[in-house]
Structure 1
Amino acid sequence: MTTQKMCPIAHGANTEISENPIAWWPKSLNLDILHQHDQKTNPMGASFNYRNELKKLDVQALKDDMLALFTTSQDWWPADWGHYGGLMIRMAWHSAGTYRIADGRGGAGTGNQRFAPLNSWPDNTNLDKARRFLWPIKKKYGNSISWADLMVFAGTMAYESMGLKTYGFSFGREDIWHPEKDIYWGSEKEWLQKSNGKGSRYSGERDLVNPLAAVMMGLIYVNPEGVDGNPDPLKTAQDIRVTFARMAMNDEETVALTAGGHTVGKAHGNGHVTHLGPPPEGATLDEQGLGWMNHQERGIGNNTVTSGLEGAWTTEPTKWDNGYFRMLLNHEWRLTKSPAGAWQYEPIHIKEEDKPVDSEDSSIRHMPMMTDADIAMKMDPEYRKIAERFSKDQAYFSETFGRAWYKLTHRDMGPKARYFGPDVPKENLIWQDPIPTGSTNFKIDQIITALKESGLSMSDLVTTAWDSARTYRGSDKRGGANGARICLAPQLNWLGNEPPRLARVLQVYKKISAEYGISIADTIVLAGNYAIEQAAKAGGVDIKVPFTAGRGDATVDMTDIESFAVLEPVADGFRNWLKEDYAVTPEELLLDRAQLMGLTAQEMTVLIGGMRVLGTNYDNTKHGVFTDKIGVLCNDFFVNLTDMNYSWQATGRNSYSIVDRHSGNTKWIATRVDLVFGSNSILRSYAEVYAQDDHQVKFIEDFVATWAKVMNADRFDVIDSLKGST
């Protein structure tokens, strides 16, 4: 007979189902991605300014403390060869390595590795120990360094401590306080699911679905044992090339990063995988956030099990040298298995003195090892050429790796204007999307007069400003109106920008820019603001749209055309446009765009309502234009959407007729994106607010505020000044 009492809480402790409507109604539009990172989850408060806190950081003292930490081995988790550098590098690498170019999500910029699912990924086994080692430093320096910065800084300093002259480092990554649930890591329902299984991320011969970069759920890159765990270096090379390309790396950077990552440290697989406990998110309370604990055998030091592979790659694993290439290229390798049963390679013939010593007992030497990915560097013809060059030129290898490591750990930070600290390199790099500072020495009145006389419509002005600004991605801080890259390839030719219309508008803007000394970027934004002010005035409200000059115009030489191609929109619900008919619904594509732009559900709603009545639809279509006053900023979209005098009839997969119940005549036509604001309970609640008779002014004020947010999303100088930083 049990003595356990029933739970006093009626719904029980597990509220995943009861509090998540999607579990009950899976076809309901899930708005959670627009609500994450609410201020309520942030313990620092709304007034906290990380950039101001960074000014208090004693960087040299931090470096000294970090270097001391690396060589202070602790009994509860001993350091390999007395140096934690390899562990810290892997932590930083896996923090940054989740970045992918397709949607800019992932990366080290938020400290997301602290939370599920990343903190419990199989590929991140035992990185919880690395973060725990950093706690005394985080505790000491407090607000002056974020977890996100600290993790990457630890890996960079680890390389410095082992002899590499790193390229540089920037602080400035702000922590989040809740998992980034908007990131799609794959459809698999189990860790390390093979690519031939149900729900695979592959199709065709070996086509990896966008936006994913890793080959398996729970891996950062590729499977070190081979494709689906089957050793085949040439097949693995194909996976490596795709995966690293989707992380913005070319072949040379890929070889440099692979070799540089394996020049130091070791893999751990000297034990039984089955003896490991659950990962952090599944561990018991007494483990206090640590996972993969081994309570059946020693399970630490040289008996640790992490990846399952076992051994070091080089003779001196705590020294930055050319040992990786000497070992890889100067030996023949045969397939074997680690003590934990993982596929790996060992040299057929090797001198005793070339073997690395045991990580705890220097009197013992072990066989070095290589993964299938390492052997790919030798077997793939293109990778082999690069490896041969690196092997003959240590200085070139070190420089290339240093730059690639810097790119890996900073790629998601956005423009260089966001970088901070004494070690930020002076060089402007093409992948940082450089933009010159624009002039502020012009008279706005003259620009407005020129716009009035230009012959361009209000729709032209608003649409061009929107198309320029909508490219901004908060995920990796790329895109936006600053730089006026809408004037350059590839954006100039994107279908979603209506190239013929855009060319006509830009011809006028370039003339205004040349005559009055204002950048084209500022002209684009100012023109859109002016049009909205006129539309608001027509709606009975005099209002100024905030404008801050200073945007610059990027040049062709400042633009990596290939890397900007991934920013091309395939849909824009705000302009009621789809490039193609997709399996994903238009409203889901709208959410993705809104989240990348940093919009809340309320901001998305008010923008849709305003854009519709302003007549900004793609190709001037009338879908969702629920007004007879096109060009007037008013709340007609919401008024008519919520009017029960109309009925709604599906006429196609993405087409609906809005029918007058009394006459039976079709009054308007709509798309799914339009009607979701009436069908979804949350979005309807916002729509009803803006449809109220007493909220015409509120609608205009909220639209203007949100419009200004979109136009300034990439103005980090303006945003920082608003926060009180300098």
Structure 2
Amino acid sequence: MGGNELKGAGKCPVMHGGNTASGQSVMDWWPNALNLDILHQHDSKTNPLGADFDYRDELTKLDIEALKTDVHALMTDSQDWWPADWGHYGGLMIRMAWHSAGSYRLADGRGGGGAGNIRFAPLNSWPDNVSLDKARRLLWPVKKKYGNKISWADLIILAGTIAYESMGLKTFGFAFGREDIWHPEIDTYWGAEKEWLADSDGRYEDLENPATMENPLAAVQMGLIYVNPEGVNGTPDPLRTALHVRETFARMAMNDEETVALTAGGHTVGKAHGNGDASVLGAAPEAADVEQQGFGWSNPNGKGVGRETVSSGIEGAWTTHPTKWDNGYFYLLFTYDWELKKSPAGAQQWEPINIKEEDKPVDVEDPSIRYNPIMTDADMAMKMDPIYREISERFMADPAYFSDTFARAWFKLTHRDMGPKARYIGPDAPREDLIWQDPVPVGSTGYDVDAVKARIAASGLTLSETVSTAWDSARTYRGSDMRGGANGARIRLAPQKGWDGNEPTRLAKVLSVLEGIADATGASLADVIVLAGNCGIEQAAKAAGFEVTVPFAAGRGDASDETTDAETFDVLEPRADGYRNWLKKDYAVSPEELMLDRSQLMGLTASEMTVLVGGMRVMGTNHGGTMHGVFTDQIGALTTDFFVNLTDMGNSWHPVDGGTYEIRDRRSGTVKWTATRMDLVFGSNSILRSYAEVYAQDDNTEKFVTDFVAAWVKVMNADRFDLV
């Protein structure tokens, strides 16, 4: 083998590098390069069920009553390998469902239980999720039995809901319809910390002002679902903790009453575990050795289960009867005075002073032994914060009201990221419309679409006006929690009609015309807005030499102010729109990264993003009519000019003041066009350039129009769950 002979028989034959767990990623060499991976999450190649699998169809084959019976039976079927506290898995299953759903955050709609993401890193290994690996394994026999007819995402939330039912709560309902993902959402931003449970200070401009927590984060520390149960940065102070609880729950779209109900209801059953030394626990699931088979946090001391379980470090139950839904939480909280103590694991917790023996919960294994109940710092906040106390006292005086409020809050917690009721499946889905579901009435389909289009064509509105308005109406959609979109025509309502990104003056002009057309034809305004955009696309395609009809599905409805939770719609306001070449202001994050984030929320791929940006530029739909990126002398025609001129090597590119660029003729130095980073990234990023070059080719002018129309329709119909 000469000079290339292997030196030693034991040399590894595998070429190590970015394709191994220990190797360096290719992109690690260029840490500032634009990472497009977020647009390619959940590629079909990761799904073992195949492209033809339809979960909604599989659900029609599910014997729901049999499934519920089996999950009910599981609650009290204590397993030898992981015995249930008091012979009931309710507390564990509730915690699993809660922590699956509780990662949801309102700011960007990411997190939540709607995709079964808790199965994967980092959530499966968060310190706050210790022992939830066992909860999912306890459910495995049920998942195995029902197979593809029930997703993990649905089963996890169902288990928590049935756990409450099995302990006496009348729940508000349950809806199936959550489809599993098969790969971790590794590009979701959970914080900048490099250490689990690092102090909160880095997440806030001012730790004493919880509202200054970095957006879009909601939890106070890396690896926690909500707040530190021992207090801010582990220092007990219930009044200070109350401020952080209020901010954290608000960032999950919960008001004060819902916050108290969830806190009390979550701690009415089950217990915290800290009867041991947490420092000796083994690695989290994602780091554990192969023989652990996906289990983590192994406990080398004793059994590691029952009374020897260690998870949060806090030890004890909150109520006298932790497997029974009752008002015991408030009874203990207000009947006794509480003092700070240390758990066996060394955690700060509150325990009652001079409690009656009969008010103590019994040991999880031996009912002849009783221990003090406990409260966390957040629990004490429910008593000491004036607002929370008033609500708590109301609940204590009216147990039925508390139960109903909690049941509704639990339903909201576990269904918030499912989107509108059109996505709900199953006999237990409640019929009541809830404002946080963003309800939209069913629109008419019986009007004459061609007559509407004719009126739009004769309206005097420009192509730019119609396309921009339709785009602005639809671009609010985010697939993270299925909110926003064109259905409902909420662009005409507060707060959307006043958003800077929607150009309120232009918007008001266009809507006044389109509302008249809707009134005259019987179409909803939502449909007319989309049809107007479609007409603009058809006009632009014709100007480029192509006759196309943009596909359209009637049936959108018009929402009202009464059915719009205006306060929570504020989070949908665009701060940037790369498609219309607009930034509200300069941000620490680059404009192109903001464009990727918006594209991912809309469910677009990198190639769809590319074709849409190129088409929007040449149609002249930039915010405020700016000419940045409009690389064409035939504005309004759906041509490939953006890509042709971007890749033309007769041009050179030069930065100027204000974060913009000039594109100059290479020979004469004459300025031909101006651009932003959101334009030039399609030529500078190697992946995006590869897409841009496809559309710059002489043989792909028709493909460009076809691809643009397909991507446009995808955006317009993103929230049409009635079409699924």
Q: TM-score, normalised by structure 2?
A: 0.98
SS in 2 for 1:160: helix
2:403 aligned with 1:393: no
Aligned residue runs from structure 1 range 126-165, under 5 A:
126-165=131-170
- Cα distance in structure 2, aligned partners of 1:210 and 1:110: 22
8 Å contact kept, 2:200–2:207: no
Check conservation: 2:97, 2:160, Cα contact below 8 A.
Answer: yes
User: How far is 1:5 from its partner?
Assistant: 2.3
Q: How does 1:369-448 map to 2 (within 5 A)?
A: 369-448=374-453
- Deviation, structure 1 residue 228: 0.2
CA contact (8 A) 2:18 2:26 kept: no
Q: How much does 1:434 deviate?
A: 0.4
Helix, strand or coil at the partner of 2:282: coil
For residues 392 and 142 of structure 2, what CA distance do their matches in structure 1 show?
A: 37
- Conserved in 1, the CA contact under 8 Å of 2:203 and 2:220? no
Equivalent runs, 1:61-140 vs 2, <5 Å:
61-140=66-145
In the TM superposition, residue 653 of structure 1 has moved relative to its aligned partner by 4.9
Structure-1 separation of matches of 2:613 and 2:170: 51
Is the Cα–Cα contact under 8 Å of residues 457 and 535 in structure 2 kept in the other structure?
Answer: no
- Give the counterpart of 1:640 among 631, 635, 645: 645
Match for residue 694 of structure 1? 699
CA distance in 1, matches of 2:522, 2:392: 50
Residues 617 and 13 (structure 1), Cα distance of their counterparts in 2 relative to 1, 3 Å cut: closer
Partner of 2:373: 368
Number of the residue aligned with 1:723: none
Distance 1:204-1:356 versus aligned 2 partners, 3 A rule: closer
Q: Distance in 1 between matches of 2:19 and 2:235?
A: 39
Number of the residue aligned with 1:476: 481
Q: How far is the alpha carbon of 1:202 from its aligned partner? A: 4.5
Root mean square deviation of aligned Cα: 1.3
State how far apart, in whole Å, the 2-side matches of 1:4 and 1:349 are.
72
- 1:3 and 1:153 map into 2 onto residues whose CA distance is 56
| Deviations 1:375-408, CA, capped at 9 Å, x for gaps | 0110000000000010111000000000000000
Tell me the SS of whatever aligns to 1:659.
strand
**Counterpart of 1:454 in structure 2: which amino acid?**
S
Question: Deviation of residue 22 (structure 1)?
Answer: 2.9
Match of 1:228 among 225, 233, 240: 233
> What's 1:347 paired with?
352
1:503 — aligned with what?
508
Query: Is 2:664–2:673's contact at 8 Å kept on the other side of the alignment?
Result: yes
CA distance in 1, matches of 2:376, 2:625: 56
What is the one-letter code of the residue matched to 2:72?
A: L
Q: CA deviation at 1:274?
A: 1.9
Q: Secondary structure at the match of 1:104?
A: coil
C-alpha displacement of 1:200: 3.8
The answer on whether the counterparts of 1:355 and 1:368 sit within 8 Å (CA) in structure 2 is yes
In 2 relative to 1, CA 563–314 (structure 1 residues): closer, same or farther, beyond 3 Å?
same
Distance 1:594 1:68 in 2: 44
Pair 1:566 & 2:574 matched: no
* Pair 355,412 (structure 1): closer, same or farther in 2 beyond 3 Å: same
Q: Name the structure 1 match of 2:580.
A: 575
Give the letter aligned to residue 322 of structure 1: N
Alignment of 1:516-555 (within 5 A): 516-555=521-560
Query: How far apart in 1 are the matches of 2:9 and 2:251?
Result: 53
* Aligned-residue offset at 1:440: 1.1
In 1, Cα distance between the equivalents of 2:657 and 2:21?
35
CA contact (8 A) 2:203 2:213 kept: no
1:602 pairs with one of 607, 631, 640: 607
**Structure 1 residues 669 and 151: alpha-carbon distance in aligned structure 2, compared to 1, 3 A threshold:** same
- TM superposition outliers: structure 1 runs of 4+ over 6 Å: none
**Cα distance between partner residues in 1 of 2:576 and 2:122:** 29
Question: 1-side partners of 2:250 and 2:110: how far apart?
Answer: 15
> 1:15: how far off?
3.1
Q: Deviations over 1:255-276 (max 9, x none)?
A: 0000000000000000111221
Instruction: Pick one of 284, 287, 293 that aligns with 1:282.
Output: 287
CA distance in 1, matches of 2:376, 2:519: 58
How far apart in 1 are the matches of 2:147 and 2:349? 42
Name structure 1 gaps, 5 residues minimum. 721-726
Distance 2:276 2:667 in 1: 77
Aligned to 2:3: none
Alignment-mate amino acid for residue 41 of structure 2: Q
CA distance in 1, matches of 2:458, 2:656: 42
Measured after TM superposition, the shift of residue 18 of structure 1 is 5.9
The 3-state SS of whatever aligns with 1:335 is strand
> Do structure 1's residue 257 and structure 2's residue 258 form an aligned pair?
no
Does 2:28 correspond to 1:28?
no
SS of equivalent residue, structure 1 residue 647: strand
- 313-322 or 67-76, larger mean C-alpha shift: 67-76
CA distance, structure 1, for counterparts of residue 610 and residue 18 of structure 2 = 34
Residues 62 and 374 from structure 1, CA distance in 2 versus in 1: closer, same or farther, beyond 3 angstroms? same
- Give the alignment partner of residue 465 of structure 1, picking from 462, 470, 473: 470
Shift of 1:76: 1.3
Deviation at 1:204, TM superposition (A): 6.2
Cα shift readout 1:619-650 (whole Å, capped 9, x = no counterpart): 00000000000000000000000001000000
**Structure 2 residues without counterparts, runs of 5 or longer:** 1-6
User: Residue by residue, what CA displacement relative to the aligned partner does 1:437-483 show, whole Å, maximum 9, x if unpaired?
Assistant: 11111112211221122110011110000000000000000000000
For the residue of structure 2 that corresponds to 1:667, the secondary structure is strand
Shifted more, 109-118 versus 272-281: the winner is 272-281
Aligned-partner Cα distance in 2 for 1:20–1:470? 33
Identical residues among aligned pairs (%): 70
Which residue of structure 2 aligns with residue 685 of structure 1?
A: 690
2:55 maps to amino acid: Y
Instruction: Give the aligned partner of residue 457 of structure 2.
Output: 452
Q: Which residue of 2 aligns with 1:703?
A: 708
Contact 2:17/2:24, CA 8 A, preserved across alignment: no
Task: Tell me by how many angstroms 1:172 deviates.
Answer: 0.1
Which amino acid letter does the alignment assign opposite residue 515 of structure 1? Answer: A
What displacement does 1:534 show? 1.2
- The verdict on how the C-alpha distance between 1:276 and 1:58 changes in structure 2, with shifts beyond 3 A counting, is same
Structure 1 segment 209-358 matched on structure 2, within 5 A: 209-358=214-363
CA distance in 1, matches of 2:324, 2:503: 55
Give the distance between the partners of 1:12 and 1:473, measured in 2 at CA: 36
Moved more, 225-234 or 646-655: 646-655
Q: How big is the shift at 1:246?
A: 0.3
**TM-score, normalization: structure 1?**
0.97
C-alpha deviations, 1:133-158, integer Å up to 9, x for none? 00000000011110000000000000
Q: In 1, Cα distance between the equivalents of 2:567 and 2:605?
A: 30
